[in-house]
């Protein structure tokens, strides 16, 4: 990423405070950046805490210039300086389709464990949809005495790269397995570009019309070349033979 102008609702979660601060100060030098400033700040607010503070106020300086925040300068000095800090995802309700792609599997299982210990079934369907968009998740319930049996489900899943969260439910244990999905590359559709002829047709239309015209002319030439043969072999009125001439006489027909 070369500029804060490249930020959007998805990739904002992939940058940290210090990267954002450097990019901001670099892009701020560009002409007309001030017209885009508020739009960029709104995107930043989705993943960061954004605070305007007074750099001349001792209490503000002590609160925000202590190393816990990244600092940027506003285009309008009257609005003060800006302090940034990445939002902390501390519960399942903080997850979104944008930020879930940027957390680790360990963080996900920690969030599930914090959800009152209710296990996978205690999570709302909408939150499950968010989780499933970025992670492969499966569960099983086994007696506590069998959960770590050699060659069992837990061992097999871990061998496949899954991390596991175990939630005790009486004498049973619910095992929640999770593994991050591989990113899916988006296929970009590139529309066919056509130039137009003087008749208002595209190149492809003109080519198709020329091919159809050549095909029609070829058929017409073939018919003209065979006109004599075609019409000479065609009798406008077919001869109708009597029944006797077809091989059977009327008496023989009646006898049959």
Q: What is the pLDDT of residue 207?
A: 57
Top-confidence residue, 67 or 201: 67
Instruction: State the pLDDT confidence band at 252, using cuts at 50, 70 and 90.
Output: very low
Question: 33, 59, 86 — which closes off a domain?
Answer: 86
Q: What is the pLDDT of residue 2?
A: 84
Residue 54 is assigned to a structural domain of this protein:
yes
Residue 115 is assigned to a structural domain of this protein:
yes
**Local structure of 24: helix, strand or coil:** helix
Residue 127 is assigned to a structural domain of this protein:
yes
Residue 206 is assigned to a structural domain of this protein:
no
Residue 103 is assigned to a structural domain of this protein:
yes
Cα distances (Å, whole numbers) of residue 231 to 221, 224, 235: 16, 11, 8
Residue with the two structure tokens 């000479």 = 232
Q: What is the pLDDT of residue 71?
A: 93
Q: How far is CA 142 from the centre of its chain?
A: 36
Percentage of the chain exceeding pLDDT 70: 71
Question: 180, 210, 233 — which closes off a domain?
Answer: 180
Q: What is the pLDDT of residue 80?
A: 86
Quote the CA–CA distance of 12 and 19 in Å, as a whole number. Answer: 11
Tokens of 137: 């998740």
Residues 175 and 142 in one domain: yes
Q: Which residues pair with 48 in a beta bridge?
A: 86
pLDDT tens, position by position, 145-204: 999 999 999 999 999 999 999 999 999 999 999 999 987 665 655 566 555 555 555 555
210 has pLDDT over 80: no
Mean pLDDT for the chain? 81
Average pLDDT over residues 231-241: 46
Residues 170 and 107 in one domain: yes
Alpha-carbon dihedral of residues 159, 161, 162, 166, nearest 10 degrees? 50
Average pLDDT over residues 101-116: 93
Question: 180, 205, 233 — which closes off a domain?
Answer: 180
Query: What residues have CB less than 8 Å from 137, skipping those under 6 apart?
Result: 120, 128, 131, 176, 177, 178
Read off the pTM. Answer: 0.65
């Amino acid at each position: 990423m070369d500029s804060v102008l490249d930020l959007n609702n998805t990739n904002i979660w992939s940058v940290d405070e210090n990267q954002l601060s450097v990019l901001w100060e670099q892009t701020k030098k560009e002409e007309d950046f001030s017209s885009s400033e508020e739009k960029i700040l709104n995107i930043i607010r989705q993943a960061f805490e954004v605070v305007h503070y007074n750099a001349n106020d001792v209490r503000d300086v002590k609160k925000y210039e202590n190393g816990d925040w990244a600092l940027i300068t506003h285009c309008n000095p009257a609005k003060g300086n800006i302090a940034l800090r990445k939002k902390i995802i501390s519960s399942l309700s903080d997850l979104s389709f944008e930020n879930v792609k940027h957390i680790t599997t360990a963080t996900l299982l920690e969030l599930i464990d914090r959800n009152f210990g209710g296990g996978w079934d205690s999570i709302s369907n909408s939150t499950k949809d968010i989780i499933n968009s970025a992670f492969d998740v499966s569960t099983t319930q086994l007696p506590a005495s069998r959960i770590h049996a050699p060659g069992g489900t837990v061992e097999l899943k871990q061998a496949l790269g899954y991390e596991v969260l175990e939630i005790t439910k009486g004498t049973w244990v619910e095992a929640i397995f999770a593994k991050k999905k591989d990113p899916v590359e988006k296929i970009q559709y590139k529309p066919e570009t056509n130039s137009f002829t003087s008749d208002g047709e595209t190149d492809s239309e003109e080519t198709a019309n020329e091919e159809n015209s050549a095909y029609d002319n070829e058929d017409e030439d073939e018919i003209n070349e065979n006109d004599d043969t075609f019409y000479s072999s065609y009798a406008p009125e077919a001869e109708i033979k009597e029944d006797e001439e077809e091989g059977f006489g009327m008496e023989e027909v009646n006898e049959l």
